[in-house]
Structure 1
Amino acid sequence: MELLKDLTLILLATTVVGHYCTRIGIPAVIGQLLVGVLVGPALLGWITLSHSLESFAEIGVIILMFIAGLESDLQLLKRYLKPSVLVALMGVLIPVIGTYAVGMLYNLGTTESLFISVIFAATSVSISVEVLKEMNALNSQEGTTILGAAVVDDVLAVIILSVLVSTTGTAVGESAAQSSSLLLTTIEQVIYFAAIYFVVRWLAPYMAKIGERLMIPMGPTLMAIILCFGMAYVAELVGLSDVVGAFFAGIAISQTSARSTVDRHIEPVGYALFIPVFFVSIGLNMDFNGLGKQLGFIVVLTIVAVLTKLVGAGSGAKLAGFSWGSATAVGAGMVSRGEMALIIAQIGYQAKLMSPVRYSAIVAAIIVATLLAPFLLRWTMDRVHRHDVDRSKIRPAD
């Protein structure tokens, strides 16, 4: 019964707030994030993040990234592979250096500073995807590069985290055992990415055909959801984020004849229930208790987290030949940390890589940076659009 009450309140609040955010030109996702802060422990305390809500939220982000893959252009992703890798590499390197320096400045010690740098090296583009969809820019060069870079970024963050936990962690199993399994995990991830070709080329089309022959309603959509959840599950088994599996499942289905049917059926399911719960859940992680004494640390960490990702990922795009405006937009699209950073923070906390005192402050910095990300992306993408429109008006002299 408690779950029904929470869902009713969340859906009512996000519907009203989303409507007015859209009317005044603010991304609806901002309203959903703020609803979580408002009704959660940070302010009113009406809703806490229960296990049931976490499950709904996880399904929400999986569906969101599946839709992103479904609506992505595979040829564009291939075309922008090199820029995506450069953006991811620079978008990890610069934040690692910057946030490590912040940790050392506040005398956190080498291990804790290293772990904080890993947290803020991660990127969660689920919020950026939502903003890009609202702006019809998911398949622009900026949107495509952001999506590709997010996948590479996720792999890099997982590898760095695995090394750090296996060499310095004390609570998550034996260090020696983890170190010996690191190579196996890496091999499993390589096999997973190699298997994606098999899924795109053969498995997804075969499942789409089976779905069309099933004598039940929405057969192709059901088969697509099975593929999505299955690939998300296997991704987690090999140490990757489930959203990586969901994204590539969407890519696979997008190459089949069932693409438009699945897209038409899956969006109402996601946006009517699961996706709003996911965005609200990020705000529910916010808690202001005891943060007053760490306000300076939070402010500095948030500023560095935003700027290093913006500069790092943006410089990677610039090195790939993008204009300054487009490079800045790509950097803005990589600023959001979201659920990926929160998951890494939780793993590190359990492995005793960070103190309980700093954990709440780091979660607060993650959420504030995530709240700022949609504004930055909207502003920079608007600038790119205006520049493109102005350039299209220029005509050669007669």
Structure 2
Amino acid sequence: MESLFTSPEFQMSLLLFVALGGYLIASRINQSAVIGLILVGLLVGPSVLGWITYTDFVRSLAHLGAVILLFVIGFEFNMKDILHPRNFAIAAVGVIVPWIGGWWLAVLFGFDSASAIFVGTACTATSIAITANVLKELGKLQTEAAKAIIGAAVIDDVLALLVLAISTDVVGGSFSYLGIAVVTVKAVAFIVLAGAFGLLVISKFLVRLDATPFVRKYPEFIFIFAMMLAFLYAMFAELVGLSAIVGAFIAGVSFKDVELHQSHSLKEGAEYLQIIFASIFFVSLGIIADLHQVTPEIVIFLAALTLVAILTKVIGCGIPAKLGGLCGKDSLIVGFGMAPRGEVAMIVALIGLEAGIIGQGVYVALVLMSLLTTIITPIVYRNWFYKGEYCTYDDKGAGIGEGR
């Protein structure tokens, strides 16, 4: 009987049942589905009921969910949206300011220099999956703010990788300019080459393949082929040190303009997969947090860390966004949109814990900070920014005012 409850079939059924509960909770409290899914994850996870733990099976499904979600989001964007000069400024300042803020706070609370460096490193992260899903849910993916957030978040992932490499080397006493240069070249080369190869080679190949008698007989073939490439892009992204979701996003961007006549829609097919697996991903963010590990000392540090984590992203990303031509409201939207740390900061925290750089207390604080920043953004978006107001822009994309 015990083997029945540990079987993949039962666990999958239970996770989807829990996800349905998350949608019901979100409906009752009139919030984003992301909030309901995370809250129900907290409820069934170790924090409250303990029905589900963060097993390898749950982690694997959640990872697939994040990859598929960003693959779908990629269909909404062009490569030029990512490479806008404004996004580089938003990402750069949005990494420097949070790193300084996190490091300063850890020093203020009396942590050693190694722990302080790693706290700052965790604060640099941005989880593109959470904000992208909320914007998609609200139908705001084509706004100037959304384009700035997604583009800056992809660049942020590269910069955060560099910060992680530098911090690890500094703490370990093996800092090397050559090593950092190699990491930078690999990350940038992957984004450029993967995007170019997808746009110029793969997308055209898919169009030609769609016209063949073989695809007329098996119209699902191209969708399977595209999903294979999405996961392949995700794998190569991880191989160069980037997040897998960045690779999947680049794949989605590459296939955006593929017009198929005989095959099933790539975007529509991926969206069905996203509905299932992305729900599990958001539930997992609640499951991974264990509130029983929180001590009174950690509560104070956690509250301060969460406040600093939000303010440093809002300031560090909002000001460059404003200087880059966005209106005041959209600049704040960008700042809050870059605030969720999500699974990215959790991974950084785990690396620090396993390397012996940070202790269990700091690890718990970083995980819960990641969770709180993830929850706050959907709440702010739904209850503050998107209540009928919008920004207007001139022909060059510069903000010229706000209206209703």
Give the alignment's TM-score, normalised by structure 1.
Answer: 0.90
Letter in 1 for 2:127: S
Instruction: Within 5 Å, give how 1:154-233 maps onto structure 2.
Output: 154-169=157-172, 175=174, 181-195=179-193, 196-210=195-209, 213=212, 214=215, 215-233=217-235
CA distance in structure 1 between the partners assigned to 2:105 and 2:288 by the alignment: 23
The yes-or-no answer on 1:132 pairing with 2:135 is yes
- 1:312 is displaced (CA, Å) by 1.3
Letter in 2 for 1:54: R
- 1:347 is displaced (CA, Å) by 1.4
Letter in 2 for 1:33: I
Residue 396 of structure 1 is matched in structure 2 by none
The secondary structure found in structure 2 opposite 1:71 is coil
Letter in 2 for 1:187: V
Residue 338 of structure 1 is matched in structure 2 by 342
What are the Cα deviations for residues 43-66 of structure 1, in whole angstroms up to 9, with x where unaligned? Answer: 110000110111111110000000
Q: Say whether the 8 Å CA contact 1:325–1:380 is kept in structure 2.
A: no
Residue 317 of structure 1 is matched in structure 2 by 321
CA distance in structure 2 between the partners assigned to 1:245 and 1:278 by the alignment: 17
What are the Cα deviations for residues 111-156 of structure 1, in whole angstroms up to 9, with x where unaligned? Answer: 2111111101110021111110111111110111100000011000
Residue 308 of structure 2 is matched in structure 1 by 304
- 1:4 is displaced (CA, Å) by 2.6
The one of 349, 353, 359 equivalent to 1:355 is 359
The secondary structure found in structure 1 opposite 2:386 is helix
Bigger shift: residues 248-257 or 369-378: 369-378
The yes-or-no answer on 1:117 pairing with 2:120 is yes
Cα distance, 1:69–1:363 mapped onto 2, change above 3 Å? same
Cα RMSD for the two superposed structures: 2.3
Letter in 1 for 2:149: I
- Report the number of matched residues: 384
Bigger shift: residues 103-112 or 16-25: 16-25
Cα distance, 1:208–1:222 mapped onto 2, change above 3 Å? farther
Q: Say whether the 8 Å CA contact 2:219–2:264 is kept in structure 1.
A: no
CA distance in structure 2 between the partners assigned to 1:243 and 1:253 by the alignment: 15
- 1:392 is displaced (CA, Å) by 5.9
CA distance in structure 2 between the partners assigned to 1:391 and 1:110 by the alignment: 45
- 1:71 is displaced (CA, Å) by 2.0
Bigger shift: residues 146-155 or 179-188: 179-188
The secondary structure found in structure 1 opposite 2:16 is helix
What are the Cα deviations for residues 140-190 of structure 1, in whole angstroms up to 9, with x where unaligned? Answer: 1011110000001100000110122123239xxxx58x8865443333223
CA distance in structure 2 between the partners assigned to 1:87 and 1:321 by the alignment: 12
CA distance in structure 2 between the partners assigned to 1:391 and 1:363 by the alignment: 37
CA distance in structure 1 between the partners assigned to 2:281 and 2:166 by the alignment: 29
Give the alignment's TM-score, normalised by structure 2.
Answer: 0.89
- 1:23 is displaced (CA, Å) by 6.0
CA distance in structure 1 between the partners assigned to 2:389 and 2:172 by the alignment: 46
Q: Say whether the 8 Å CA contact 1:317–1:330 is kept in structure 2.
A: yes
Q: Which runs of no fewer than 5 residues in structure 1 stay unpaired?
A: 394-398
CA distance in structure 2 between the partners assigned to 1:182 and 1:260 by the alignment: 43
The one of 5, 13, 30 equivalent to 1:8 is 13
- 1:103 is displaced (CA, Å) by 0.2
The yes-or-no answer on 1:274 pairing with 2:277 is yes
Letter in 1 for 2:10: K
Q: Which runs of no fewer than 5 residues in structure 2 stay unpaired?
A: 393-400
CA distance in structure 1 between the partners assigned to 2:80 and 2:235 by the alignment: 26
- 1:97 is displaced (CA, Å) by 1.5
Higher normalized helix content (fraction of residues): 1
- 1:22 is displaced (CA, Å) by 3.7
Cα distance, 1:125–1:28 mapped onto 2, change above 3 Å? same
Q: Say whether the 8 Å CA contact 1:61–1:278 is kept in structure 2.
A: yes
Identity between Structure 1 and Structure 2 (%): 31
What are the Cα deviations for residues 185-205 of structure 1, in whole angstroms up to 9, with x where unaligned? Answer: 333223212312122111232
Q: Say whether the 8 Å CA contact 2:64–2:277 is kept in structure 1.
A: yes
CA distance in structure 2 between the partners assigned to 1:296 and 1:20 by the alignment: 29
Cα distance, 1:190–1:261 mapped onto 2, change above 3 Å? same
